[in-house]
Amino acid sequence: MTVRKPLIAGNWKMFGRRADLTQLTALAERTRDVAAGVDILICPPVTLLAEAAVLAGEGPVLLGAQDCAETPHDAAQTGEINAAMLADAGARYVIVGHSERRAGRGETDLQVRVKADAAAAAGLAPIVCVGESYDARLAGSAGQMVTRQLAGSLPHAAPIGLTVAYEPVWCVGTDKTPTPAEIEGMHALIGAALTARFGSAAARVRVLYGGSVNATNAGAIFATPGVDGALVGRASLNAADFAAIISAHPAAQALRSGN
């Protein structure tokens, strides 16, 4: 059985100014002793990425971006930012297919796949987001919706660092979460889909849970079989709050206890 190093990622979304980068250095101080057991990632707005990379240096906090252009190369596309530019600014990961872009911007599975392939081509690890709507959950078709998104959104091959984030849409930005059994079932479904798609390479693909993760529920979520970490939204903006979520992971607790 492959043991995957947990990844706990923070998505700052459209929040943050340069002054807020003090949270990045504070987070590094709070989590330096657990970085050997947990990968810690912050995805700030792109306006802060290059300066964040300087501050992060070789410390425990990795950096990512929240989206990338479909075009993998430089082009006359005003306002777009390609994956190579993000890598040049210091990103190592990039989120693609977040529900706020699927629903708010009308992104299709095909567009998400193209972005994931573009990210991989630039040496970035794509975090591919999937998740069902509330209507699908009520109708009992959550699994079918997520399976369809995976089939259409995953890159053609499994690049190093590929991650899937399961974010039920009805939990993003709310105080709702699925039950541990529901999370376990969906992560098992995602794992089976990854194996069917990538074969043995699926063993290295981490599957995160996202949607209203906080310090109170993080421990139970991390204890759920198949959960390799979390994609955290606004709670990641505050170093103390995010560090508390990270500290709830068994891998972090083991390092702090000396086991």
Of the residues 98, 100, 187, 249, only one is catalytic, namely 98
Of the residues 70, 167, 187, 249, only one is catalytic, namely 167
* Whole-angstrom distance, CA of residue 214 vs CA of residue 56: 24
DSSP code per residue over 190-257: HHHHHHHHHGGGGGG-EEEEESS--TTTHHHHHTSTT--EEEE-GGGGSHHHHHHHHHTSHHHHHHHH
Q: 204 is written with which tokens? A: 């290295």
Buried b vs exposed e over 28-50: b needs ≥16 C-beta within 10 Å?
A: bebbeebbebbbbbbbbbbebbe
Q: How many CB atoms lie within 10 A of CB 170?
A: 22
Furthest C-alpha separation in the chain: 54
Contact predicate 21/52, CB 8 Å: yes
List residues bridging with 154 in a β-sheet: none
The yes-or-no answer on residue 167 being catalytic is: yes
Contact predicate 82/68, CB 8 Å: yes
The label of the residue with tokens 């990270």 reads 246
Q: Which residues are catalytic?
A: 98, 167
